Chains A and B, each alone.
Chain A
Amino acid sequence: MQGEVRLEELTKKFGDVVAVDGIDVQMPPGEFFTMLGPSGCGKTTTLRMIAGFERPTAGRILLDETDVAQVPAHRRNVNTVFQSYALFPHLDVAGNVAFGLKYRRLTKQEQRLQVKEVLELVQLAGFERRKASQLSGGQQQRVALARALVLAPRVLLLDEPLGALDARLRRDLQVELKALQRDIGVTFVFVTHDQEEALTMSDRVAVMRDGRVEQAGSPREVYEEPRTMFVADFLGVSNLLEVDAVGEEHSRCVLRLGDRTFLAEQGETDARGKLKAMIRPERIGVEPHGAPGDNRLPGMVERAVFLGGSYEIHVRVLGGEMLKVAMTNEGNPLTFGLEQGTPVTLYLPPDALRVLRPDPEPDAGDEEGQTAPAAVA
């Protein structure tokens, strides 16, 4: 199978600013691979290097085992769907889609046929003569997709292609794009800052920060088993508790929070000292006040928000920290009240409690990429 991308020690500097800092990533053929991260994390620069728009400062870009790092964009068999689509305004839809076919040895007849087929694939049959400016955002996005796919690239690069669309259309297109990718089996390399989009669509996600890959893995892995605080925080809501790791018991880590003791099965269970433990809101159980058992923590309801499908409950716990709890709406009335001030007990299951390796202390504000240049975004 074709379409494997491997990045080795890939580095890009803009003057003194390091946009991509020696990353090693493997993108298996036929997969939907997502680079996820805040603006300025280097994801778009990485994509632009794979496309050939930026010349790497160092490192290799292996496309099916061939280093293409120094090959100009027009000689690489990868194609891009641009964030703003970059549809040529002086050409109609057919002209846009046929643009790259000119560089294949094809008769006019064959060209026309291929344009027709790919427009059918993206459900735009009959739009050949329209100008780009006469199309809706979603339609423009499909033309951009068709224009790239008609060249049968080994890898399709997508730079936040859904960013410009409204929320509803976006959700529809996420599903469609994923289905399309599965059908045609082309490797998709997708760049986004939207964690939900990344989790929904990808086979594999690389979470990036400050020009490095913080963690790569399946959506489930990066969500359930974040290796760092940054990943835990960037992907969904997470509760972080400041705890003391004091020992080990049956390969579980013993954590102390005030006078309470907890067991944690996940993460760096052999770490010791002051560190953070993390738990997802949906894994916390809410029980009536005084419920007995281990790994339990008393608290007081501060606020409960009804979200339709679930409740989001903010509980102030021992030590003053606030935990967010997501509780599925089962349809039945709750067995106990959730009014403000109600005392409750939270159950933090050992298999949901994750000990995190402490981050190398980041500069304040760095996470939003304020220190990185705009060009990296």
Chain B
Amino acid sequence: MSWLRNPWGRPRVLGLMTVLYILWSVTPVAIAILFAFNNGRSRTTWQGFSFKWFTGSVGSVFHDPALQGALKHTLLLAAICVALATPLGVSLALGLQRWRGRGGGTVNTLMLFPLVTPEIVMGVALLLLFLRVFPGIGLGTEAQVIGQVTFTLSYVVVMVRARLVSIGREYEEAAADLGAPPRDQLFRVLLPLLAPAIIASAAITFALSIDDFVVTQYLSSDASTTTVSMLLYSSARGAPTPALNAIATVALLITLATLALAFLVYRRFAGGRDATAVAALEV
């Protein structure tokens, strides 16, 4: 620990630790991705490079009906979830931010709770809700969508509100001052200024939906409502081939691409400061 005594030295021990930590956290996944390209049936022994688990004619991501179905269902859920959670969240954020008088604090707390509630509690609660309160909806795709929207909604609200706070009221006042009626203050000024946050929150909702496991699993009904995450859970221990690694890799690429896009959009239109806030949002 010589850096403690040498005031100018860099803390090498800490640096080494950080490097080791990052290697430890990333390498296993990198290896799992590598095996998605294994030219053989093993997920533990390297047998050469191949795309067969992605595009091959037997048991590959793009040809096996079960894998294909899971991927499609995952993307379908994510798309519907974004389409519902984004407008709901944006309007809730606007309404909460401008809420005057009683009730605002309660609603705000209610909105934040899904962020900290363990997923299994939400899963059980929604399961019982659809079994006993809305048997008409029942389990399946609709229930999965509703469940995902319920917990992603809060992320949208938090992000949009953060942006609303940093925008402040002045632009709307300027618009009013220049003659814009309330409708135009919203559509000509506020929403365009919110656009980066809206796009970023849509992307994060998309990624959260793809990665979600517990709520989606609790509200699934049969094989047709299986998602990639559920597939990973059910086959991880007994998986016969690297096709599982391949489908996980595909989902990962979609997630990362969406987030990277959102990050770029945000940085381009809202400045770097807010962008790091978005990256750390899930904190």
Q: List 5 A-B contacts (CB under 8 A).
A: A74-B179, A79-B177, A79-B178, A86-B171, A147-B178
A74, B181: Cα distance in complex, Å: 6
Partner of A151, one of B170, B174, B179, B181: B179
A82 interface neighbour in B170, B179, B193, Cβ under 8 Å: B170
Other 19 A-B pairs with CB < 8 A, given A53-B173, A148-B178: A53-B176, A72-B176, A73-B173, A73-B177, A74-B180, A74-B185, A79-B177, A79-B178, A82-B174, A84-B170, A86-B170, A86-B174, A90-B192, A90-B193, A99-B178, A99-B180, A99-B188, A103-B178, A148-B177
Interface centre among A53, A74, A78, A84 (most CB of B within 10 A): A74
Q: Which 4 A-B pairs have the closest CB atoms?
A: A100-B178, A73-B176, A103-B179, A86-B174
Query: Is A127 an interface residue, CB under 8 A from the partner?
Result: no
Q: Does A34 contact B (CB under 8 A)?
A: no
Q: Closest CB of chain A to B176's CB: distance in Å?
A: 4
> Distance in Å from the Cβ of A101 to the closest Cβ of chain B?
9
Contact indicator B171/A88 (Cβ below 8 Å):
yes
Separation of A79 and B188 alpha carbons in the complex (Å): 18
Closest to A98 in B: B178
Whether, in the assembled complex, A89 has its beta carbon less than 8 Å from a beta carbon of chain B, the answer is: yes
Cα distance A276–B128 in the bound complex, in angstroms:
81
Q: For A99, list chain B residues within 8 Å (CB).
A: 175, 178, 180, 188
Interface size for chain B: under 10, 10 to 19, 20 to 34, or 35 or more residues?
10 to 19
Q: Please, which residue of chain A has its CB at the minimum distance from the CB of B189?
A: A88
Option from A74, A102, A147 in Cβ contact (under 8 Å) with B176 = A74
Q: How far apart sit A30 and B196, CA to CA, in the bound complex (Å)?
A: 43
Residues of A in contact (CB 8 Å), total: 24
B interface with A by C-beta (< 8 Å) = 170-171, 173-182, 185, 188-189, 192-193, 195
Indicate if A11 sits at the interface (CB-CB under 8 A).
no
Q: Within 8 Å of chain B (Cβ to Cβ): is A211?
A: no
Contacts of A148 in B (CB 8 A): 177-178
Q: Which of B174, B176, B179, B182 gathers the greatest number of chain A CB atoms within 10 Å?
A: B174
Contact call A86/B193, Cβ cutoff below 8 A = no
CB nearest neighbor in A for B175: A99
Residues of A near any B CB (own CB < 8 A): 51-53, 72-75, 78-80, 82, 84, 86, 88-90, 99-100, 102-104, 147-148, 151
A51 to B181, CA, bound (A): 14
Q: A89: which B residues are within 8 A, CB to CB?
A: 193
Inter-chain residue pair count (beta carbon < 8 A): 63
Q: Which residue of B lies closest to A51 (CB)?
A: B177
Q: From residue B94, how far is it (CB to closest CB) to chain A in Å?
A: 17
Residues in A whose Cβ lies below 8 Å from that of B176: 52-53, 72-74
Give the chain B neighbours of A53 by CB distance below 8 A. 173, 176-177
Q: Which of A78, A80, A103 contacts B180 (CB 8 A)?
A: A103
In the complex the two chains form, is B177's CB within 8 Å of A74's CB?
yes
**Which residues of B sit under 8 angstroms from A151, Cβ to Cβ?**
178-179
Contacts of A73 in B (CB 8 A): 173, 176-177
Residue in chain A with minimal CB distance to B196:
A90
Chain B's nearest CB lies how many Å from the CB of A131? 11
* Residues A100 and B179 in contact, CB atoms below 8 Å apart: yes
Assembled-state Cα–Cα distance A100/B180 (Å): 7
Q: Which residues of A contact B188 (CB under 8 A)?
A: 99
Q: Whose C-beta in chain A lies nearest to the C-beta of B173?
A: A53
* Interchain CA distance A297-B120 in the complex, whole Å: 87
In the docked arrangement, what's the CA distance between A75 and B170, Å? 17
Distance in Å from the Cβ of A110 to the closest Cβ of chain B?
Answer: 16
Q: Taking CB as reference atom, which chain A residue is nearest B176?
A: A73
Nearest B residue to A91, CB-CB: B192
Q: How far is the CB of A266 from chain B (nearest CB, A)?
A: 43
A74 to B189, CA, bound (A): 14
Q: How far is the CB of A113 from chain B (nearest CB, A)?
A: 18
Chain A residues whose C-beta falls within 8 Å of the C-beta of B170 in the assembled complex: 82, 84, 86
Report the nearest B residue to A89, measured CB to CB. B193
Residues of B within 8 A of A104 (CB): 179
In the bound complex, how far is the Cα of B195 from the Cα of A51, in angstroms?
A: 28
- Tell me the complex Cα distance, A84–B181, Å: 22
A254 to B181, CA, bound (A): 63
- Cβ of A80: which chain B residues have Cβ within 8 Å of it? 173-174, 177
* B227 CB to nearest A CB, Å: 37
Measured in the bound complex, the distance between the Cα atoms of B214 and A317 in whole Å is 84
A11 CB, nearest partner CB in chain B, Å = 20
Pick from A78, A86, A103, A147: contact of B173, CB below 8 A. A86
B228 to chain A, nearest CB (A): 37
Task: State the CA gap A79–B185 with chains docked (Å).
Answer: 16
Complex: how many Å from CA A51 to CA B175? 12
Chain B residues near A51: list those with CB within 8 A: 173, 177
Chain B residues with CB under 8 Å of A75's CB are: 179
Q: What is the CA–CA distance of A72 and B175 in the complex, to the nearest angstrom?
A: 12
CB B196 to nearest CB in A, in angstroms, measures 10
- Give the docked Cα–Cα distance between A324 and B206 (Å): 70
Interchain nearest-CB distance for A252 vs B (Å): 52
> B170's closest neighbor in chain A, by CB?
A86
Contacts of B181 in A (CB 8 A): 74
